[in-house]
Each structure stands twice: as C-alpha cells, then as structure tokens.
Structure 1
C-alpha cells in the first residue's frame, strides 16, 4: 500500500515535470521574441523618421521648431491614447475584437493619407 502511494506520486511528479519542461520549451522562444522585438523596433523607427521628414519637407526652415513640437505631441500622445484605448477595448471585448477594431481604424486612416498623396503628388 505504501509502495503504491510512493510509486504513483513519483510517476505523477515525473509526468508533471516533463509536461512542465515541454510547456516551458513551447512558451519561451527567445529567438522568436527577439526577432519580433527587432521587427517592431524597425517599423516604429522607420515610421517616426518618415513622418517627421515629411512634415519638415512641407514647411520652411523657420517652421522646424513648430513642426518638431507638433510632431512630438501628436506621436507621443497618439501612442498613449492608443495604448489606453486598446487596453480598454481589449478588456471589454477581448483581444480578437480589439485587434479587429484596430485594423479597421488603420484602414480608415488610409483615406486621408491617400487623399493627401493625390493632392501633393508624392509618389
């Protein structure tokens, strides 16, 4: 009787240890996490540089200070409002719907960008 209890608890601990190891292997992928972080960094940096450069190109040199202030306010404010808004939406609807709404908002944001591109003739 004691032997059965000891052997069954040992078997349970071995099986839980092996499942725990396989879970850790599946859940922790440092290479893919680093890759995704790098991709996010590249996309954010390129978007920041592109938008700031576009704004500088549209004003004379005397307006660079104003452009810098407006750009910083809009970009940093948008990051904060977007994070809070997404968090609230994800808490209310769940992540799949929050991502769907975010994708829809990004598509809606393309409308003024396309209009502006046609108006200015930028390629």
Structure 2
C-alpha cells in the first residue's frame, strides 16, 4: 500500500470515528479516559488541527470508541451493582465468621469435644 492509499484509509477511519463520536455524543475527555491519550490531542485530531496522526493513535481512539459501544450495549444498572455489592458483603461476612472459627479452634484446641462441636457447626454452617 502506498502513502496515498494509506492516507486515504486513515481519513476513512477518522471519518468513521467522527461519526461515532457525534452519534454517541462522546467528549474528548471520555475518549481520553478510555484511550489513554490526552483530551487536547484527541481534540486536535478530531477537529483537523493534527494533520497526520499516527496509525497507533487512531487505533487507540477506535478501540476506545469500541469499548464505549460495548459498555453502551451492556450498561451496568444500579440493580446489578447492588447485587455485586451484596455478594461482596456476604463474602466479607463469611470471611469474618471463618476468622472467628479459627480463633475458637485456637482457644479450645486442648478440648477435643469443643473442637468436634466447632467442626460440626462449620460443616452445617451454623456458626
């Protein structure tokens, strides 16, 4: 592919990027957070002040927009976040109970009957 063809491909990709930016009403800041590029650099590319951005830079912007599209198609709802938070809290409680159990075992390690009771409660999850 010669330089002219390469430049034409870059321009086509940039035009598609600009269309998607407009469609999703993306800010330069949003794109910068997803791409790792500066919002000022993105602004220069999108408004044409940067005449010859590298293919690597264009690819980063393109991937950032694709990431946004995936997030837009599968948005995280408040309900989903609450479910995940509930799961995390439940795991934390379980971990706290496991720690309590370990301390009980250590305190009562000389009493085999108590150890058996603790072990049975742990098996039945009735701590």
Q: Larger % of helix: which?
A: 1
Instruction: Work out which of the two has the higher radius of gyration on C-alpha atoms and give 1 or 2.
Output: 2
TM-score tier by shorter-chain length is 0.3 to 0.5
More contact order relative to length (CA 8 Å, sep ≥ 6): 2
TM-score of the pair, normalised by structure 2: 0.32
